């Protein structure tokens, strides 16, 4: 669990505040568009320091679409690249497939 340590003025041990948790996923359909960015990723970037975030690429959901193994792998890699390039910092959150 992510924590923030705050100091106090009395010299006592610092208080530890737990950040609220967020879990959110995005489907690697291969059709990344402005709506994906405006609806999800932009908000993830803005809020990554406010919450203990876990973001994922929900690859099994993409199996509901016609795809090939190679196409799915490529879509996953492309989406992961877009997420990180958009500003998601792996040092401040968890990102997984």
pLDDT at site 83: 93
Q: What is the predicted pLDDT for the residue at 53? A: 95
Alpha carbon 65 to chain centroid, angstroms: 23
User: In this model, does residue 8 exceed pLDDT 60?
Assistant: no
Note the pLDDT of residue 69. Answer: 85
> pLDDT per residue over 24-75, tens digit each?
999 888 778 888 888 889 999 999 999 999 999 987 766 777 778 898 899 8
pTM: 0.73
Closest CA to 52 of 26, 17, 86, 28: 17
Domains for the chain: give ranges and CATH numbers.
19-96 (3.40.50.620)
């Amino acid at each position: 669990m992510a924590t923030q340590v705050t100091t106090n003025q009395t010299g006592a041990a610092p208080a530890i505040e737990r950040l609220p948790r967020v879990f959110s996923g995005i489907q690697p359909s291969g059709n990344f568009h402005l709506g994906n960015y405006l609806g999800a990723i932009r908000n993830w970037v803005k809020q990554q320091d406010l919450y203990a975030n876990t973001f994922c690429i929900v690859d099994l959901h993409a199996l509901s679409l016609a795809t090939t193994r190679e196409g799915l792998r490529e879509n996953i890699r492309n989406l992961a690249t877009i997420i990180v390039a958009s500003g998601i910092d792996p040092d401040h959150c968890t990102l997984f497939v």
